[in-house]
Amino acid sequence: MMRKKTPTLREIQWGQRETEKLDLRALLCQASFGRLFYSFFKSLVGKDVVVELKNDLSICGTLHSVDQYLNIKLTDISVTDPEKYPHMLSVKNCFIRGSVVRYVQLPADEVDTQLLQDAARKEALQQKQ
């Protein structure tokens, strides 16, 4: 009799992540503009990004999670210019308050810019009405 393989913890987590990974296209058909970029960032969880803050500090890391305020959690971080900013040398994971983010830099091939642009235009139009 074949014994069903018990999934490892890693496999369970992977499965959960896959179900949670939101299809950008599906999300962009959703409701308010207020959630557009929240949904957009949720679809980028797991990708490597560089967050530039309003105090000029740039932090590179893996996007772990995002919330409704666009607060960002990054894991495995490294500061882009460690000589100038040694302040974060002993930090591996961090939470960044949404209000202090200036830019979130992503590789171009991670984003369907045309889709995003169209969705943003559509939502902005909806918001106006």
Tell me, by CB under 8 A, how many residues bind another protein.
24
Separation of CA 35 from chain center: 13
Out of 95, 117, 118, 125, the only residue in the binding site for another protein (CB under 8 A) is: 95
- By CB under 8 A, residue 93 contacts another protein: yes
Of residues 49, 31, 41, 32, the one with CA closest to residue 104:
49
120-126, Cβ contacts within 8 angstroms, sequence gap of 24 or more: 120/33, 120/36, 123/32, 123/33, 123/36, 124/33, 126/33
Segment interacting with another protein (CB under 8 A) among 8-16, 23-31, 53-61, 119-127: 53-61
- By CB under 8 A, residue 63 contacts another protein: no
- By CB under 8 A, residue 70 contacts another protein: no
Out of 23, 86, 121, 126, the only residue in the binding site for another protein (CB under 8 A) is: 86
Under 8 Å between Cβ of 53 and 41: no
The residues of the shown chain that bind another protein, judged by CB under 8 A, are: 53-57, 59, 71, 77, 84-97, 99-100
